[in-house]
């Protein structure tokens, strides 16, 4: 026996088929030329490992080798490398991927989902609270109607690439390995277009604007993302369309302010209403409501309207509305109004000629006299 293949793969003679594959995988990775550049000893060792596996990895050759010390084709310069690649692909396919290529010869142009798209949509608070349906125009790629997506002029078809024979790959023999790379002539498609479609210039897709109907549920808020399935860019090689994601932004409202599912607002009342009480009408998102103002209501008093807020998105019920009333001081008064107010101040014992600090000083002076 001129060469001990078991020793080369660091195995004993009762090694199983699984043991042989594991040993080969480990050593081939360790001594591969790409991992050991400019190392002649590693390259020689790599060749020995492949020679050993070409024999022990083949049941028939292994049987002859175990019985007679030789095997047909064992160490014969790998002239029959094509017979070896079936097992080789199984071992290295999951480890090296593109480095060694696809030994089955299948094209890599498999169907792939199209690109997802994002669209930013601004809506008003009324639509966010009540929900609505919008029609939006989305710029995206569409399958060319002139060539039905083939990229070839109408009446013609793409031709099989002569460089790669339709596989989408070219193979390069490097030592004992066949390295497969994406075909540069067809870009991996396996086909070439000799007469391109004039509409899409051979791309198969054209830029277009698609009108999409979007349902906006009640209760959405800024930052909510709505998904519209299948309204993204078209897929590749027959794959499905991508999806459309619509990101919402709610415009500020001139009257309402939103806090979670509640609505906050401020409503002015007159000095007379605050003093004597009464009923005021307050706007809500679904109409209006009436609030009873008790006599002597101070500015800043907050009233609570239950169920007049924002619907809970994906749930049940609504938030509430909070109404903050403030006394609206008139900026212009008639002479008669001023006269009445001065009379009211005198009756109330309020000296309107004094400022705030004067009144504070009087208050402290009064307390000081009482203390004595």
The pLDDT of residue 185 is: 80
The pLDDT of residue 365 is: 54
Which positions of the chain have pLDDT values less than 50? 1, 73-107, 356, 359, 367-368, 371
* Tokens standing for residue 22: 């594991």
The pLDDT of residue 70 is: 67
The pLDDT of residue 71 is: 59
257-327: what fold?
Answer: HSP40/DNAj peptide-binding domain (2.60.260)
For 258-270, the pLDDT digits (tens) are: 999 999 999 999 8
CA distance readout (Å), 188 to 10, 99, 144, 181, 241? 40, 15, 21, 9, 21
Considering just the CA atoms, what is the radius of gyration of the chain in Å?
42
The pLDDT of residue 65 is: 81
Classify residue 311 by burial, with Cβ atoms within 10 Å: 0-12, 13-18, 19+.
Answer: buried
**CA 205, CA 345: separation in Å to the nearest integer?**
81
The pLDDT of residue 267 is: 92
The pLDDT of residue 28 is: 84
* Tokens standing for residue 24: 């080969």
Please list the residue range(s) of the chain that carry CATH number 1.10.287.110: 5-99
The pLDDT of residue 27 is: 87
**CA 51, CA 29: separation in Å to the nearest integer?**
15
The pLDDT of residue 95 is: 44
**Confidence (pTM):** 0.58
CATH 3.40.630.30 is right for the domain spanning 107-150+200-252: no
**CA 150, CA 202: separation in Å to the nearest integer?**
8
CATH class of 5-99: mainly alpha
* Tokens standing for residue 372: 């004595």
The pLDDT of residue 63 is: 82
Please list the residue range(s) of the chain that carry CATH number 2.60.260.20: 107-150+200-252, 257-327
């Amino acid at each position: 026996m001129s060469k001990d293949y078991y020793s080369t793969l660091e195995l004993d003679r009762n090694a199983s088929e699984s043991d042989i594959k594991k040993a080969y995988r480990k050593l081939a990775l360790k001594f591969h030329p790409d991992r050991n550049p400019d190392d002649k000893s590693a390259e020689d060792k790599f060749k020995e490992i492949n020679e050993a596996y070409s024999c022990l990895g083949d049941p028939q050759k292994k049987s002859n080798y175990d019985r007679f010390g030789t095997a047909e084709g064992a160490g014969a310069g790998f002239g029959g490398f094509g017979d070896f690649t079936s097992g080789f692909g199984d071992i290295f396919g999951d480890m090296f991927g593109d480095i060694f290529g696809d030994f089955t010869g299948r094209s890599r142009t498999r169907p792939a989902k199209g690109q997802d798209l994002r669209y930013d949509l601004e809506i008003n608070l009324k639509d966010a609270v009540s929900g609505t349906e919008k029609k939006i125009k989305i710029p995206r790629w569409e399958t060319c109607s002139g060539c039905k997506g083939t990229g070839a002029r109408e009446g013609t078809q793409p031709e099989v690439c002569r460089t790669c024979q339709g596989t989408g790959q070219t193979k390069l023999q490097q030592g004992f390995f066949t390295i497969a790379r994406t075909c540069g002539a067809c870009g991996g498609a396996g086909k070439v277009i000799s007469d391109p479609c004039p509409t899409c210039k051979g791309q198969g897709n054209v830029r277009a604007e698609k009108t999409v109907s979007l349902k906006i549920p009640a209760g959405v808020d800024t930052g909510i993302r709505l998904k519209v399935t299948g309204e993204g860019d078209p897929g590749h090689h027959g794959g499905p369309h991508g999806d459309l994601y619509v990101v919402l932004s709610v415009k500020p409202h001139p009257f309402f302010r939103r806090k979670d599912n509640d609505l906050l607002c401020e409503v002015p009342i007159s000095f007379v209403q605050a003093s004597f009480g009464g009923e005021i009408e307050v706007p809500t998102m679904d109409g209006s409501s009436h609030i009873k103002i008790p006599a002597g209501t101070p500015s800043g008093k907050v009233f609570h309207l239950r169920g007049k807020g924002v619907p809970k998105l994906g749930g049940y019920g609504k938030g509430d509305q909070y109404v903050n009333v403030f006394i609206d001081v008139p900026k212009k008064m008639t002479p008669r109004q001023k006269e009445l107010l001065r009379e009211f101040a005198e009756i109330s014992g309020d000296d309107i000629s004094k400022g705030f600090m004067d009144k504070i000083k009087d208050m402290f002076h009064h307390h000081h006299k009482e203390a004595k």
